[in-house]
Amino acid sequence: MASWWERHGVPRLIKCACSQGQIMKVRSRVVPLARGHVLELGCGGGINMEFYRPGQIESFSGLDPSPELLAMSHAAAAERGIDADIRSGVGEAMPFESARFDTVVTTFTLCSVTDQAAVLAEIRRVLKPGGTALFLEHGSAPDAGVAKWQRRIEPIWKRIGGNCHLTRPIGDAYEKAGFAVDRQGAAYMPKTPRPFGWVEYGVAHSAG
Ligand SMILES: C[S@@+](CC[C@H](N)C(=O)[O-])C[C@H]1O[C@@H](n2cnc3c(N)ncnc32)[C@H](O)[C@@H]1O
C-alpha cells in the first residue's frame, strides 16, 4: 500500500521539478523527434505531451505504474485531442508485443525504475529492428567530487523522490544494453544543485 507521501507528495514534486524552464527547453529538442508508432515509457504527468508532432505519429502508447501520474497523462492527452493508449504497468515487463514500436521515449524515467538493465532489454524487445529510443535522463555525473555527493545523497533521496536514483549511468547504459548511441547533449542543468543536475540526451538505435 503506497504511503500518503507516495500518492500525493511525489506526483506533485515530480510535476513541479520536471517542468521547470530549462528542462522544458531540452524536452523540446528530444521529444519532437518521435515518429511512427510511439511508446512513452514512464509517461506519468503528461509533461511531454505538448512536444509531440501529431503529423508524424501513427499511434501513441504510454506506460506508467503511478495511478496519480497516469491520471495527469490521460488529462494531458485529452486536452490535446490525442487518441492515446495509456496503460498502467512497468518497464521491466511491458504489456506490448515484440517489434511493435518505431520510437520509445524515456525522459527522467530510468532513474526511477526498479531494474534499469531489465527495462533497457524490454525497450529493445518492443522496438522494431532499426527503431530508436529517444532519451533525456539525469544520472551519474562525470566529476569525481559531484559523483561522491551523489552517492552520499542517493539513499535518502530515493526514499523521498519516488525511487529516483542519482548514480545511474545514462548513455553508457544504453550502449551496454546493445544500442548504438548518438549522444546529442550532456551538461549540468543551470540553477540546479549539481548532484541532481547532470543530464544526458540523445538517440539510441536498436539493431534489432
Ligand atoms: C521523475 S518521474 C518522470 C515522469 C516523466 N517521464 C517526465 O519526464 O516528466 C519518473 C516516472 O517514472 C515512473 N516509473 C517509476 N518506476 C517505473 C517502472 N518500473 N516502469 C516505468 N515507469 C516507472 C514514475 O511513475 C514516474 O512517472
What CATH number does residue 124 fall under?
3.40.50.150
| pLDDT range class, residue 21, cuts 50, 70, 90 | confident
Cell 552517492 found at:
151
The per-residue pLDDT for 208 is 62
99 C-alpha to ligand 1 centroid (Å): 22
Which tens digit of pLDDT belongs to each residue from 52-81?
A: 999 999 999 999 999 999 999 999 999 998
Judged against a pLDDT cut of 90, whether residue 98 lies above it is answered with: yes
- Ligand 1 close to Cβ of residue 24 (< 6 A): no
SS3 72: helix
**Ligand 1 nearest atom to the CA of residue 114, by list position:** 19
More confident residue, 19 or 98: 98
Amino acid at position 9, single letter: G
Please say whether the beta carbons of 166 and 196 come within 8 A.
yes
Please say whether the beta carbons of 60 and 123 come within 8 A.
no
Judged against a pLDDT cut of 90, whether residue 2 lies above it is answered with: no
Q: Work out how many domains the chain is built from and give that number.
A: 1
108 C-alpha to ligand 1 centroid (Å): 7
Judged against a pLDDT cut of 90, whether residue 14 lies above it is answered with: no
Judged against a pLDDT cut of 90, whether residue 7 lies above it is answered with: no
Percent of the chain with pLDDT over 90: 86
- Ligand 1 close to Cβ of residue 114 (< 6 A): yes
For 112, the domain range is 4-206
- Ligand 1 close to Cβ of residue 116 (< 6 A): no
Cell 566529476 found at:
143
What is the dihedral sign for C-alpha 163, 169, 170, 175? Answer: negative
| pLDDT range class, residue 1, cuts 50, 70, 90 | low
- Ligand 1 close to Cβ of residue 6 (< 6 A): no
Question: Which of 2-6, 29-33, 99-103, 115-119 has the least mean pLDDT?
Answer: 2-6
Which tens digit of pLDDT belongs to each residue from 102-161?
A: 999 999 999 999 999 999 999 999 999 999 999 999 999 999 999 999 999 999 999 988
Judged against a pLDDT cut of 90, whether residue 3 lies above it is answered with: no
Interval 185-197 mean pLDDT: 94
Cell 559523483 found at:
147
The helix (run of H) or strand (run of E) holding residue 147 is helix 144-160
Judged against a pLDDT cut of 90, whether residue 89 lies above it is answered with: yes
Residue 65 to residue 108: CA distance in whole angstroms: 14
43 C-alpha to ligand 1 centroid (Å): 6
- Ligand 1 close to Cβ of residue 107 (< 6 A): yes
Judged against a pLDDT cut of 80, whether residue 13 lies above it is answered with: no
